[in-house]
Amino acid sequence: MILGRIKLWLAAAGAFVLALGAAYWRGRSAADAAAERERLEDYVDTRKRMDEVDAGDDPSVIRDWLRDRGQR
């Protein structure tokens, strides 16, 4: 009788710990996906700015732009 109750309590505690672990794992994977999405959006923005620079521009303008880009 007492062993049955102990098993029930242990099963409930195990289910609770499992639920907490699953919630943590889902939150972590969602955060990783958001960080990757942000990184890719930054890449696209940078690529668009790079494509806007005309190769025939004054070299000092390009050098200044590259310096500003590197400081970000």
Please give the structure tokens belonging to residue 26: 């889902």
Per-residue pLDDT at 56: 64
Other beta carbons within 10 Å of 13: 10
Residues 53 and 51: their CA atoms lie apart, in Å, by 5
Predicted confidence at residue 7, as pLDDT, reads: 93
Q: What's residue 1's pLDDT?
A: 76
State residue 6's pLDDT score.
Answer: 92
Model pLDDT for residues 9-38, shown as the tens digit of each residue: 999 999 999 999 999 999 898 999 999 999
